[in-house]
Amino acid sequence: MNKRLIYMDHSATTPVREEVVEAMLPYLREYYGNPSSIHFAGRTVRRAVDEARAKTAELLGAEPEEIYFTAGGTESNNIILRGTARKHGKPGHIITSSIEHHAVLDVCKDLEADGYSVTYLPVDNYGRVQVDDLRQAITPETFIISIMMANNEIGTLQPVNEIAELAQQRNILFHTDAVQVGGHLPLDLRSLKADFISLSAHKFNGPKGIGLLFRRKGTQLAPLYRGGGQERKLRPGTENVPGIIGLAKALELAVAEMEAQRKQLENLRSKLINGLLAIEGALLNGHPVERLPGNVNVSFQHIEGEAVLLSLDLEGIAASSGSACSSGSLEPSHVLSAIGLDHATAHGSIRFSLGLGNSEADIDYLLARLPRIVEKLRLMSPTYYA
Amino acid sequence: MYNEKVIDHFSNPRNVGELENADAIGEHGSFKCGDTMKIYLKIKNDRIEDVRFQTYGCGAAIASSSMLTEMVKGKTIDEAMQITNQDVADELGGLPPLKLHCSNLAADALHNAIENYRKGKENVKQD
């Protein structure tokens, strides 16, 4: 009997849509030219890259020259934070949050070691940054604020519009890591006054190894790499053409289906949250409603997350955990610690991130198995009846 | 990341639970990651006749606890004192490197139980 396989780890990565694969294939086969070449092979590809850029820009409410293709979210964050820091020079002050992805946090730590100062804003128990805290953290040397649009672990949405307005009033740059939001929730750069955003295609059913950064006209970034003139010298290196084509196609499909998909995911999310909270000793992490449509994060008391993940995996269900034991470090997730969870509760966390292809039947399948898994592990736990 | 034997011990752990009238109880926790094992021993003529465990922790912690209980049954307490965490990991066919430091604590709990047992006997003699 074939075991049913259910993928609920879409915040880690998503399957590439068939239409995206189809759109990319010609650029792996017949259209292999280098877009910088002036001959026929290069010109065809240049045209395709230009069109993909124009389409991507339009979908985001940006101008084509404000879009720079990169290798993904991590590279975008690095180019933006290091690039603005280098342009600004020292002394300089950065404000970010304590729940950013490591691709922002660790860059900030690096910049701190380089002599910049950084404020890591705390968050409330739901994982939200308080705009008043941000206002108070601003100093005359603050040159950039970097706050993610939605958290990858607990899904909490941040008040980025308010933050962007505050940054604009104070003449400070604003960057938002929108990797978890792109393709899932509306992202219109005409209304959101961000100076920089980072996106990654594989989070919205596009290919891996391709992302983008948005740089609003008039802002400046010192490039990190030297090389050719690609991406207007901000990210030199021959373009990842199939990736760029795939990103644009994936974003186009995601935006076209966004409203329907969002409703579907929010329904599945509610069903899953209700089912999980019916299990004794289960706690919801993150905000009840101000969260990514597909994100569910719960902690089970008295058991450890990796053991739950492993048991789920044996049942053919893929999820993830903020437990140290599954992360390759000894510390539990910095995000779960920042929202005030004690070590044991953070260790017992499980994230289900739903996406395209998940159905009610998947939720039923999971909920039919998880209570038994939790019970079995608890019966093994010395702290359960203690 | 885990081999088949580890997965087997994790999914079908041997000797789980408490032991009524245990002659010795031991416990060990990893302050690094929070994993904790509690072990119960039934000892007759300095030989381990029965054993049970309870563990809070990841797959490696549970599998190594289960493995250890199989290794100690029938051994004398002197022999059991010789078992190391590394022996347990070896018997499992290896554990991922990171797990060797945080979740491989079964032998420590066993030693703690035997030390408690010996202390208890000394106290009885003194009385």
Is the domain of A172 the same as that of A56? yes
- How much is the pLDDT for A187? 98
Rounded to the nearest integer, the mean pLDDT of chain A is 96
Q: Write the pLDDT tens digit of every residue in B99-117.
A: 887 678 899 999 999 999 9
Flag whether A2 is in a domain.
no
Same domain, A158 and A275: no
Number of domains chain A contains: 2
* Alpha helices (runs of H) in A315-359, residue ranges in sequence order: 324-327, 334-338, 343-347
**The domain spanning residue A305 has which CATH number?**
3.90.1150.10
- Asked if A209 and A282 sit in the same domain, the reply is no
Interface contact flag, B56 A382, Cβ < 8 Å = yes
Task: Tell whether A42 and A101 lie within a shared domain.
Answer: yes
Task: Please tell me the total count of domains within chain B.
Answer: 1
Whole-model pTM?
A: 0.94
- For residues A163 and A117, membership in a common domain is answered with yes
What integer is the mean pLDDT of A162-179? 98
Contacts of B33 in chain A (CB under 8 A): 324-325, 330, 347
Q: Does B68 touch chain A (CB under 8 A)?
A: no
Q: If you measure CA to CA, which chain B residue comes closest to A310? A: B59
Nearest CA in chain B to A331: B33
Query: What is the predicted pLDDT for the residue at B34?
Result: 80
Instruction: Give domain status of residue A3, yes or no.
Output: no
Does residue A200 sit in the same domain as residue A121?
yes
Residues A46 and A191 both lie in one domain: yes
Which residue among A284, A325, A344, A367 is the active-site one? A325
- Please indicate, yes or no, whether residues A35 and A179 belong to a single structural domain of this protein: yes
Q: Which of A148, A210, A149 is nearest to A16 (CA)?
A: A210
In a domain, B126, yes or no: no
Q: Which residue on chain B is closest to A305 by alpha carbon?
A: B58
A377 to chain B, minimum CA–CA distance in Å? 8
Per-residue pLDDT band for B127 (boundaries 50, 70, 90) equals low
Pick from A239, A256, A273: which residue ends a domain?
A256
Touching check for B76 and chain A: CB below 8 Å? Answer: no
In this structure, the answer to whether residues A291 and A161 fall within a common structural domain is: no
Q: With CA atoms as reference, report the closest residue to A175 among A158, A195, A192, A157.
A: A195
Which domain, by its residues, includes B13?
A: 4-116
Distance CA B34, CA A336 (A): 16
Are A71 and A212 found together in one domain?
Answer: yes
Q: What is the 3-state secondary structure (H, E, C) of A186-197?
A: CCCCCCCCCCEE
Which one of B33, B58, B81, B100 is the catalytic residue?
A: B33
The helix or strand, by DSSP H or E, that contains position A369, with its residue range, turns out to be: helix A360-380
* Catalytic residue flag (residue A108): no
Do A52 and A98 lie in a common domain?
A: yes
pLDDT digits (tens, 9 = 90+) for A83-142: 999 999 999 999 999 999 999 999 999 999 999 999 999 999 999 999 999 999 999 999
**Domain membership flag for residue A163:** yes
Question: What average pLDDT does range B24-40 have in this prediction?
Answer: 88
Closest CB to B56 among A310, A328, A383: A383
Which tokens hold the place of A352? 């289900």
Residues of B in contact with A325 (CB under 8 A): 33, 35, 57-61, 99, 102-103
Mean pLDDT, residues A184-212: 98
CATH number for the domain harbouring residue B13 = 3.90.1010.10
Q: Are residues A114 and A182 in the same domain?
A: yes
Range of the domain at A273: 258-380
Q: Percent of chain A scored above 90 by pLDDT? A: 93
| CA end-to-end span of chain B | 52
Helix residue spans in A32-72 (DSSP H) = 40-60
